[in-house]
Amino acid sequence: MRTLIAGNWKMNPPGLAGAEALARALRLSAARAVDLLVCPPFTALASVAALLRGTGIALGAQDCAATGEAGGAHTGEISAAMLRDLGVSHVILGHSERRAHQAESDATVRAKAVAAAAAGLIPLVCVGETEAERRAGRAQAVVAGQLAGSLPDGFSGIIAYEPVWAIGTGLTPSAGEIAAMHAAIAADLATRFPARAAALPVLYGGSVKPGNAAEVLALAHVGGALVGGASLVAEDFLAIAAAAR
Ligand code: PEP
């Protein structure tokens, strides 16, 4: 399995021109030994799709509707089929910011994963514990619960382990903590999806930067990284990609 470095641009850059400039800078990058995925905001998807066409850099969205309908009376929603039509191949689901700010439950994330897969998109499902949960010694139990609730039967896609307290804070778990969680997730997936667990990449996300990427990406069961802040600077994002061995 090739390492995947995914960029979550969140609600950035603030203007379309910034998103286009970032896509242009990525387009200039040399051939890579890893797979790259960028997930701009909805409003920049069409422009970034056009700019990245033919580069091998995959395009993802940051959410999709939970309904399996391609269209319908769902004000403000964007269906997975609409995203696919734009050239999107992946969709981030259940990011901790959506779980916290939009009150997305595991059941909602699961329904979105089903809708995404039905439309031919690859779901990238995020899980991760809060600081209080880790302090209470419940990190692995919380993540196991999120996996059980968010991944539909027959899941085929990507998982991102993102401790909530590491996102955008500059804090990261120790290498041992990341390795222990990824080993636990791998064991969990092997139990639930015995036939395909080895083909389900598990990314680490949370303050991955050029300076710590090599150590994180070298850990067992870490299939790549989901990168927030550092994905907004093309040279940092590409440096993280270059750090993968
Ligand atoms: C994220 O939001 O998915 C993320 C990992 O952010 P950051 O890299 O900024 O911590």
What CATH number is associated with residue 73?
3.20.20.70
Q: Ligand 1 centroid to 57 CA: how many Å?
A: 19
Q: How many domains does the chain have?
A: 1
What tens digit of pLDDT does each residue of 13-66 get? 999 999 999 999 999 776 678 999 999 999 999 999 999 999 999 999 999 999
- Residue 220: exposure state from Cβ atoms within 10 A (0-12, 13-18, ≥19): exposed
Q: Measured between alpha carbons, how far is 11 from 240 in angstroms, rounded to an integer? A: 21
Nearest protein Cα to ligand 1, atom 8: 228
pLDDT score of 245: 73
In testing the pocket of ligand 1, which one of 4, 12, 161, 227 has its CB within 8 Å of the most ligand atoms? 227
The pTM for the full model equals 0.97
List the catalytic residues: 95, 162
pLDDT tens digits, one per residue of 181-192: 999 999 999 999
Q: Cβ < 6 Å from ligand 1: which residues?
A: 8, 162, 167-168, 205-208, 226-230
Say how far apart CA 71 and CA 10 lie, in whole Å.
24
pLDDT of residue 30: 66
Average pLDDT, the chain: 97
Residue 163 CA to ligand 1 centre (angstroms) = 10
Domain of 229, in residue numbers: 4-243
Average confidence (pLDDT) over 107-115: 98
Q: What are the residues facing 60 on neighbouring strands?
A: 90
Mean pLDDT of 191-205: 96
Q: What is the pLDDT of residue 226?
A: 98
Q: Are 143 and 127 in contact (CB under 8 A)?
A: yes
Q: What is the pLDDT of residue 187?
A: 98
Position in ligand 1 atom list of the atom nearest CA 231: 8
Check pLDDT > 90 for residue 160. yes
